[in-house]
């Protein structure tokens, strides 16, 4: 396998070192001189995912590729939750492993099954090995959010930041259908999970998108809903994922809902999402000043955003009463 791998990688490979085992010290030392770590797990061991946690503890998870049995769903779950860069099923040919290594070396992400299938299997596995026998919504949500941020590096930390902002607004608004809860928090964390199915060339394009690329990007709320639909999340999770790009004036997507027809949690989340988007660095523009982003939201009250919720924005995020324009 390793000879075939070296041949497949060609000029991109200068040396492949095969170690019988790893420990934190030798792993950290070796990492100074290598680009990618390949971890071959043993499904018969007491804890197959232990090496992955070691890699994560040292901070090398994004440069790691895992080889595991296709039936080992627990390791698949931990790989995603830990942010491991690549996952290849044991028995794959050298070209598949070479592709994963190349992608991870370039700071991408490659799993050996379609993204939605991996995520679906992973969440089922999370349910299966949970000590209580119940899927913990927040653990599952964070695993999915971690997987997404490997794919879209420009939004690093976005899910956690915007969730915190949206929960602050939810606590101030106390809307029916958007009362603060663990389910609501999971919904906010998972809002962009459908972007896992969008090509990286679109997500990280350093310039305006073509009309076709825009149409592809705008499928992510539908893809996200399809990913979580069979997984038993509460309806508020699906509502936020599908409808957080709808607009108060009906000109949003994917369904063109208008006003109060947009679910409350999605209307609330759209405000926090817009603020974080405007104040974050993106490949096509510099971040906006926070106060200016708040004013932008207020300027679009009753057009893009729920005007009643906008009345709370200045009070919640600037700790002063806000006046609508």
Q: Does 69 share its domain with 178? A: no
The rounded distance, in Å, linking the Cα atoms of 139 and 76 is: 14
Number of domain units in the chain:
2
The rounded distance, in Å, linking the Cα atoms of 237 and 266 is: 9
Reported as a pLDDT band with limits 50, 70 and 90, residue 121 is low
Reported as a pLDDT band with limits 50, 70 and 90, residue 18 is low
**Residue 246: its pLDDT value, please?**
97
Cβ–Cβ < 8 Å for 238, 225: yes
Mean pLDDT of the chain: 79
Q: Does 92 share its domain with 147? A: no
Both tokens of 69, joined, read: 């049995």
Q: Does 71 share its domain with 178? A: no
- Residue 121 maps to a domain: no
* 94-98, 126-130, 224-228, 310-314: range with highest mean pLDDT: 310-314
Range of the domain at 41: 1-113
Q: Does 227 share its domain with 314? A: yes
- Residue 239 maps to a domain: yes
Average pLDDT (250-266) is 96
Q: Does 94 share its domain with 223? A: no
Average pLDDT (182-199) is 86
The rounded distance, in Å, linking the Cα atoms of 301 and 174 is: 19
Least confident of 51-65, 212-226, 281-295: 281-295
Tell me the CB-side half-sphere exposure of residue 111, using CA atoms within 13 A.
24
- Residue 134 maps to a domain: no
| CATH classification of the domain holding 84 | 3.40.50.2300
Instruction: Tell me which of 74, 151, 195, 205 is the catalytic residue.
Output: 195
Reported as a pLDDT band with limits 50, 70 and 90, residue 150 is low
Reported as a single tens digit per residue, the pLDDT across 311-321 is: 999 889 876 54
- Residue 299 maps to a domain: yes
Q: Does 213 share its domain with 259? A: yes
**Residue 224: its pLDDT value, please?**
87
Does pTM surpass 0.95? no
Bridge partners of 87?
A: 66, 111
Cβ–Cβ < 8 Å for 90, 39: no
25 SS3 class: helix
C-alpha distances out from residue 221 to 22, 198, 216, 302, Å: 41, 11, 11, 23
**Residue 297: its pLDDT value, please?**
95
- Active-site annotation holds for 195: yes
- Residue 198 maps to a domain: yes
Tell me the CB-side half-sphere exposure of residue 46, using CA atoms within 13 A.
0
Cβ–Cβ < 8 Å for 280, 290: no
C-alpha distances out from residue 320 to 144, 291, 294, Å: 35, 12, 12
Q: Does 79 share its domain with 166? A: no
Reported as a single tens digit per residue, the pLDDT across 31-53 is: 677 778 888 888 888 888 888 88
């Amino acid at each position: 396998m390793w000879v075939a791998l070296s041949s497949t990688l060609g000029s991109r490979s200068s040396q492949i070192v095969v170690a019988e085992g790893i420990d934190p010290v030798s792993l950290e030392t070796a990492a100074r001189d290598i680009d990618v770590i390949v971890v071959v797990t043993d499904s018969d061991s007491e804890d197959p995912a232990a090496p992955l946690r070691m890699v994560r503890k040292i901070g090398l998870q994004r440069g790691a590729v895992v080889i595991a049995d296709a039936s080992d769903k627990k390791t698949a779950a931990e790989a995603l939750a830990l942010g491991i860069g690549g996952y290849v099923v044991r028995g794959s040919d050298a070209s598949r492993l070479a592709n994963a290594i190349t992608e991870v070396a370039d700071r991408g992400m490659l799993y050996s099954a379609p993204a939605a299938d991996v995520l679906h299997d992973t969440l089922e596995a999370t349910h299966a090995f949970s000590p209580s026998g119940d899927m913990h919504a927040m653990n599952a949500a964070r695993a999915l959010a971690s997987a997404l941020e490997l794919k879209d590096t420009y939004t690093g930390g976005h899910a956690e930041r915007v969730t915190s902002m949206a929960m602050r607004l939810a606590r101030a608004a106390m809307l029916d259908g958007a009362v603060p809860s663990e389910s609501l928090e999971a919904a906010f964390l998972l809002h962009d999970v459908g972007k896992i199915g969008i090509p990286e060339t679109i997500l990280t394009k350093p310039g305006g998108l073509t009309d076709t690329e825009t149409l592809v990007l705008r499928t992510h709320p539908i893809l996200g809903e399809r990913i979580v639909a069979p997984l038993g999340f509460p309806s508020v999770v699906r509502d936020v994922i599908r409808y957080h790009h709808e607009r108060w004036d009906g000109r949003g997507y994917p369904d063109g809902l208008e006003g109060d027809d947009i679910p409350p949690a999605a209307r609330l989340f759209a405000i926090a999402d817009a603020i974080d988007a405007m104040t974050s660095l993106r490949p096509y523009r510099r971040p906006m000043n926070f106060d200016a982003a708040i004013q932008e939201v207020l300027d679009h009250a009753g057009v893009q955003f729920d005007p009643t919720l906008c009345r709370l924005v200045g009070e919640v995020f600037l700790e002063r009463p806000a006046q609508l324009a």
